[in-house]
Amino acid sequence: MAATGKTRFVLYLTAIVLLLSGCAGNSAYTPLLRADPAIGGEFTRAPRTLRLYYDALPDVSRSDVSLTGPAGDYPLRGLHTMAADDLMTEIMEPLTAGEYTVRWTTVVGEDPSIHQGSFNFSVRAD
Ligand SMILES: [Cu+2]
């Protein structure tokens, strides 16, 4: 009898894990379409702004973008939207050669879900 109870428990757990992994499949969706500097790109000319393009209009007041690299956190200024689908911000310090990570959080269009993600780019010395 105890074994039957345990078997049921394991079945319930399996069902829960399957449900959760189904949800995880949905959360793989990202509204981010592309960026400038390009996602994964390598540049000899350091970018001075970050612009992220989404599949719907981001809500700037519920968005955040940050940049980290060889010197830690890089200050950004003036997060705004330029068009119907983007977030843009100015990089306050010149970027030296190295690997950079852009992290973003946003809410887009009519969907109240908070989305977040990150991507890298690199700056190469000339
Ligand atoms: Cu702009």
The whole-number pLDDT of residue 24 equals 44
Query: Cβ distance 83 to 55 under 8 Å?
Result: no
The whole-number pLDDT of residue 119 equals 98
Distance between Cα 110 and ligand 1 center (Å): 22
The whole-number pLDDT of residue 12 equals 61
Distance between Cα 88 and ligand 1 center (Å): 5
The whole-number pLDDT of residue 126 equals 77
| Environment class of 50 (CB within 10 Å of its CB; exposed 0-12, middle 13-18, buried 19+) | buried
Distance between Cα 31 and ligand 1 center (Å): 19
One of 2.60.40.1220, 1.20.120.400, 2.60.40.10, 1.10.287.3510 is the CATH number of 31-123, namely: 2.60.40.1220
Written as tens digits, the pLDDT of the chain (126 aa) is 555 667 666 666 555 455 544 444 456 899 999 999 999 999 999 999 999 999 999 999 999 999 999 999 999 999 999 988 999 999 999 999 999 999 999 999 999 999 999 999 999 987
Query: What residues does each domain of the chain span?
Result: 31-123
Distance between Cα 17 and ligand 1 center (Å): 43
The whole-number pLDDT of residue 28 equals 81
The whole-number pLDDT of residue 112 equals 94
Edge-to-edge strand order for the sheet containing 76-80? 32-36, 49-54, 86-91, 76-80
* Residues 6+ away with beta carbon under 8 Å from 53: 32, 33, 34, 35, 36, 85, 86
Indicate the DSSP class of residue 84.
S
